[in-house]
Structure 1
Amino acid sequence: MQGTVDDFSYGAVTPVAAYIMACLGAALGLRCVVRSVYNAQSWKPGWLALGAASIGCGIWTMHFIAMIGFRVKESRIHYDVGLTVLSLVVAISVVGIGVFAVGYRGVSTATLCAAGSVTGLGVAAMHYLGMAAIRMNGYIQYDISVVALSIVIAIVAATAALWAAVSIRGFLTSLGASLVMGVAVSGMHYTGMAAVGVHLHGTKGGGELTGESPLSILLPMLIGPVIFLLLAGVVVMFDPMLVLGEVERNQPVAVAPAPVARSRGRLRQADRPDAPLPHPDDTPGSLFEPPVRPAAARRVQEW
């Protein structure tokens, strides 16, 4: 017999909370990738790894918060812990492949398409691996056409996110990109859930399934990724270059030639053809590098 599926057993609470976590992971990840790409003194592997872990944890957390609201009225459900943890590993790993590819090779069309496809397929794999972790008195059937649509959405969302990570520099524009990415990830999830149908083994299956409830399994498992996202948020918030949008400080900037000027018979440094260009204050350090004072940042002195 067919089971009655309800994806919103807690109303709007789970979709809204899931969307917020997807946006948080995307926002932190995008800022970390921007930090690695546009600052020469950054430890690129560290920032890219933090960005990949943030986006992966955000996507995984979004999925399982949304799954708290998933119910089959005729049967109890619970989750296989091993597959659930494996889905988190898959999410972080495949996002890492895309992030590192774009971080090191740039946003050429070939790189972006390949990295976006791999990342999108990985996100879809995480989703359906998480669905495979469900245990109930029956089995899940899928509408293949809707599944294909969800995979396309995942690939498009991943490609757009990777493009935004290295193309959008401002804080507010990155924030807007993360909100859009949250919509795309949530849309992929609920599109995939629309493909779900449940076939029950019997009319009395609800009492035959033993084990822990979904809440008792998912809530403890969600604590770790949520804490990680909060810690990543602390790292970002205490990095002035990310908060103030100063990741472009070390990029080459066209500077007008300094006018020739003399004062009391002394030649100023600005008159020397080999004088270093003025530069803003020293770049502050962060978690992955010590404070740096580029050679071009030395103050103009008289001699």
Structure 2
Amino acid sequence: MTAEVSEFHYGLITPIAAYLMACLGSVLALRCTTRSIGRGRGERKLGWLALGAVSLGCGIWTMHFIAMIGFSVDGASVSYDAGRTLLSLFVCIAVVAVGVFLVGYRGSSPVTLGTAGVITGLGVAAMHYLGMAAVHTAGAVHYDTTVVVLSVVIAVVAATAALWAAVSISTVWATVGAALVMGAAVSTMHYTGMAAVSVHVAQMQTGGQSSTSLLSFLLVMLAGPVAALILAGAIVMFDPEVVGGQRDWHPTDHPEPVGSRPYTS
């Protein structure tokens, strides 16, 4: 029989928290990438791009697993494989890094942006379904192929838009606006993917899901990525060039006015 599946075991708390984490990761990634474009030099450029990739990857992954706290299967327990859960995090960060570094070093030409967007979008989708593969429940999980394809398309479009924004938007408020849209796009991808899920169980369990143990496991898994986002936020907040969108100062940026030097014979 088909069990009733819900994404809102705790009401609107999990989707709202998940959306906010996606927005946080997006805004940090946008500011870090903006800092690197045309401003960073050598290792500094590499560092800002890496921080942006980690921020976006952790933000997307954290959004996914906060949302998964609300996942429940009526009459069946839910648990997670820790190894696959962590693997999904590394996959997310690695693939997002490919996209960020492509646009960071090669610019936003249509070919580069399209390639980076497809790679990143497929990586985000892979993270989502790898995370779903970590779910253990007393039933067989099935997916609606059409809805899965739709979720992948949304992931690619969202990733392409995110990378375009990273290299095209520099002001703080425009970045915040773009992050809000990106957070909505990533969350839409997640819940579209979850709409494809159905669970078939041979016999309903009387105990249902152990919400306390599941919540404890996911909170432990979330601790590291959330700490990474907090650290990235601290770095961004204490760098005025990231917050204000200012350029590095060079002597040639402000040439000395003619006649400002004292006369010497």
* Range class of TM-score, shorter chain: over 0.9
Partner amino acid for 1:294? Answer: P
In structure 2, the residue matched to 1:107 is 108
Is 2:89 the counterpart of 1:88?
yes
* Alignment CA distance shift 1:205-1:81 (3 Å): farther
Runs of 4+ residues over 3 Å off in structure 1 = 204-207, 209-212, 293-301
With the length of structure 1 as denominator, give the TM-score of the two structures.
Answer: 0.82
In structure 1, the residue matched to 2:31 is 31
Question: Which segments of 5 or more consecutive residues in structure 1 lack a partner in the other structure?
Answer: 251-282, 284-292
1:114-133 to structure 2, matched below 5 A, reads 114-133=115-134
| Separation of aligned partners in 2, 1:103 and 1:196 | 36
1:5-154 to structure 2, matched below 5 A, reads 5-41=5-41, 43-154=44-155
* Alignment CA distance shift 1:20-1:220 (3 Å): same
Contact 2:33–2:167, Cα closer than 8 Å, also in 1: yes
- What value does the CA root-mean-square deviation take over the aligned residues? 1.8
Greater share of helix: 2
In structure 2, the residue matched to 1:3 is 3
Partner amino acid for 1:78? Answer: S
In structure 2, the residue matched to 1:161 is 162
Q: Secondary structure at the match of 1:75?
A: coil
Q: Deviations over 1:261-289 (max 9, x none)?
A: xxxxxxxxxxxxxxxxxxxxxx3xxxxxx
| Separation of aligned partners in 2, 1:183 and 1:212 | 28
Contact 1:137–1:205, Cα closer than 8 Å, also in 2: no
- Percent of counterpart pairs with the same letter? 59
In structure 2, the residue matched to 1:173 is 174
| Separation of aligned partners in 2, 1:99 and 1:210 | 39
| Separation of aligned partners in 2, 1:167 and 1:153 | 21
Larger Rg: 1
Q: Secondary structure at the match of 1:232?
A: helix
| Separation of aligned partners in 2, 1:40 and 1:55 | 19
| Separation of aligned partners in 2, 1:127 and 1:76 | 20
Contact 2:75–2:207, Cα closer than 8 Å, also in 1: yes
In structure 2, the residue matched to 1:276 is none
With the length of structure 2 as denominator, give the TM-score of the two structures.
Answer: 0.93
In structure 2, the residue matched to 1:217 is 217
Partner amino acid for 1:199? Answer: H
| Separation of aligned partners in 1, 2:134 and 2:175 | 34
Q: How many residues align?
A: 259
Contact 1:78–1:212, Cα closer than 8 Å, also in 2: no
In structure 2, the residue matched to 1:271 is none
